[in-house]
A = this chain, B = another copy of it.
Amino acid sequence: MKLLKDKIVQDGKVLSDQVLKVDSFLNHQIDPPLMQAIGEEFAERFKDAGITKILTLESSGIAPSMMAGLILGVPVIFARKRKSLTLIDHLYTASVHSFTKNETNDISVSKDFVTSEDTVLLIDDFLANGQAVLGLLDIIEQAGAKLAGVGIVIEKGFQPGGALIREQDIRVESLANIASLENGQVTFFEGALSK
């Protein structure tokens, strides 16, 4: 997605070979017209997948998911993150380890909102080690829902998450797939994975 890649090159900050900061338009400040374009792109790619719900994770997944949900005409559920869950009544839960923060959080979704009747599109802002997506997939499986696929705003394709998910025969659509952050430069994978 050219608009997004241009934005990453223009406003993203490469902090190291591993870390790209996109606080100015996605993770802290949000650029609404860009979120609208991202929502349209997800909706276009998944329009024939029979989606009934979008599932994402607070907080940075909410804005792009909301726009995709508006266009696809389906509700959005954001999984909640908590250090540890005391009240797990009527919740699907999964553990998600963050390598960046070196901490494990529980994520949870109410059993009211994802059921075996649903076909779910999973959306997240970043795909790096894949732990958040694996946690959300776990919840979809617990609910007995059907998975339509995974929509990612920015994939760090040089980290193992994408391969980990795709080798389970899951459709992953990344709107920008980064090949490298070396020498302070953002390089994208070209071709099918990152059109």
Q: Which residues in B have their C-beta under 8 angstroms from that of A31? A: 75
Closest chain B residue, CB of each to CB of A79: B28
**A53-92: which residues lie under 8 A (CB-CB) from chain B?**
58-59, 62-63, 66-67, 69-70, 74-78, 80, 83
* Known contacts A36-B70, A70-B36; is-contact A62 B24 (Cβ 8 Å): no
Check B29–A113 contact: CB distance below 8 A. yes
Q: Does A145 contact B (CB under 8 A)?
A: no
Min distance, Cβ A156 to any Cβ of chain B, angstroms: 21
Contact indicator A28/B113 (Cβ below 8 Å) = yes
In contact, B35 and A77 (Cβ under 8 angstroms): no
Given known A29-B76, A30-B66, A31-B75, contact A112–B59 (CB-CB < 8 A): no
Q: Does A32 contact B (CB under 8 A)?
A: yes
Chain B residue numbers with a CB within 8 Å of A66 are 30, 32, 35, 62-63, 66-67
Residues of B within 8 A of A63 (CB): 62-63, 66, 76
Q: Say yes or no: is A142 at the interface (Cβ < 8 Å to chain B).
A: no
Residues of B within 8 Å of A69, CB to CB, are 30, 32
Minimum CB–CB distance from A39 to chain B (whole Å) comes to: 9
Decide yes or no: A28 and B70 within 8 Å by CB, A59-B62, A62-B59 being known contacts. no
Shortest Cβ distance from A23 into B: residue: B110
Q: How far is the CA of A31 from the CA of B75 in the complex (A)?
A: 5
The chain B residue with its CB closest to the CB of A69 is B32
Interfacial residues, chain A to chain B (CB-CB below 8 A): 23-25, 28-33, 35-36, 58-59, 62-63, 66-67, 69-70, 74-78, 80, 83, 109-110, 112-113
Q: A62-B62, A62-B66 are in contact. List 7 more A-B contacts (CB 8 A).
A: A23-B113, A24-B112, A28-B77, A29-B75, A36-B70, A63-B63, A66-B66
